[in-house]
Amino acid sequence: MLNGGPSLRVFEDITGALHGVLYAVVPDKGWTQLRAVLATGEPLVAAGAAVDLTDLPLSRSQADETLALLRNGLISLRLAGYEEVWSSLVLHRVAAASNASGVAELGPLNQLKEMDLDTLYQWLRHPGDPREASRALRIHPNTFRYRMKKIGEVVDLDDPDVRLALLTQLVTLKWA
């Protein structure tokens, strides 16, 4: 699926535009070559999985979902295939389901919002590695440790269920 950008004449017979999105059916063998050409351009490009012709609606749906991640800046790519970004799709789907059920409104998260959720998120993403977490935040490791000490005064970070619940809530806020 191509989002904007110039049309590719070679694919005119098998493309169709809908709501500003150009859809193209590309043979699996030709995808690598087409991908190389499209990667240098401006349009956002998303692809569904390679499927039989009878499953084209499924592939289009996958491409639409991948394009939504690209458009919303949830993945920092210009070109993505559905199967390549599966982890981002999982996080987005879980976040959407969690958001609909109000998961982010439970527990101490509102109190932690007054502190620093980015620090907590990086601490959960880089367990046991404060240097990497502080590097992701672009802060000094001592600053990171100080912030985590303050967060630890509000919530029991030694409890694995609490850590998992907090990570689920933070993923919901980031990916929904």
- The answer to the question of residue 92 being in a domain is no
- Tell me, yes or no, whether 80 and 11 share the same domain: yes
Q: Is residue 90 part of a domain?
A: no
Same domain for 80 and 108: no
Assigned domain for 50 exists: yes
Q: How many domains are contained in the chain?
A: 2
Q: Does residue 97 sit within a domain? A: no
Torsion of CA 91, 92, 94, 97, to 10 degrees: 170
- pLDDT score recorded for residue 167: 96
Instruction: Please give the pLDDT value at position 34.
Output: 77
* C-alpha neighbours within 13 Å on the C-beta side of residue 116: 19
pLDDT at 9 over 50: no
Tell me: pLDDT of 2 over 70.
no
- Answer yes or no: is 123 within a domain: yes
- Which pLDDT value is given to residue 83? 92
Specify if 21 maps to a domain: yes
163 is a domain residue: yes
Q: Do residue 8 and residue 75 come from a single domain? A: yes
Note whether residue 10 is domain-resident: yes
Please check whether residues 168 and 120 belong to one and the same domain.
yes
The three-class DSSP label of residue 104 is: helix
> 111 and 66 in one domain?
no
Whole-number Å distance between alpha carbons of 72 and 126: 24
- For 42-86, the pLDDT digits (tens) are 777 788 888 888 888 998 899 999 999 998 999 988 888 999 999
In angstroms and rounded to an integer, the radius of gyration of the C-alpha atoms of the chain is 21
Q: Where are the alpha helices (DSSP H) in the chain?
A: 31-38, 56-71, 86-100, 109-113, 117-125, 130-137, 141-152, 160-175
Domain boundary among 39, 56, 84: 84
Shortest CA distance to 63 belongs to which of 89, 97, 34, 28?
89
From 84, 115, 142, give the residue that closes a domain. Answer: 84
**pLDDT the model gives residue 69:** 93
Residues 167 and 107 in one domain: yes
For residue 37, the enclosing domain spans 2-84
Residues 6 and 74 in one domain: yes
Q: How confident is the model at residue 15 (pLDDT cuts 50, 70, 90)?
A: low
Residues 58 and 110 grouped into a single domain? no
- Considering the chain, what percentage of its residues have pLDDT values greater than 70? 89
Cβ count within 10 A of residue 154: 13
pLDDT surpassing 70 at residue 10: no
- Average pLDDT over the chain reads 86
Residues 65 and 137 in one domain: no
In tens, the pLDDT along 103-140 reads 999 999 999 988 899 999 999 999 999 999 999 999 99
Same domain, 72 and 136: no
- pLDDT attached to residue 82: 92
* Chosen domain end from 17, 49, 84: 84
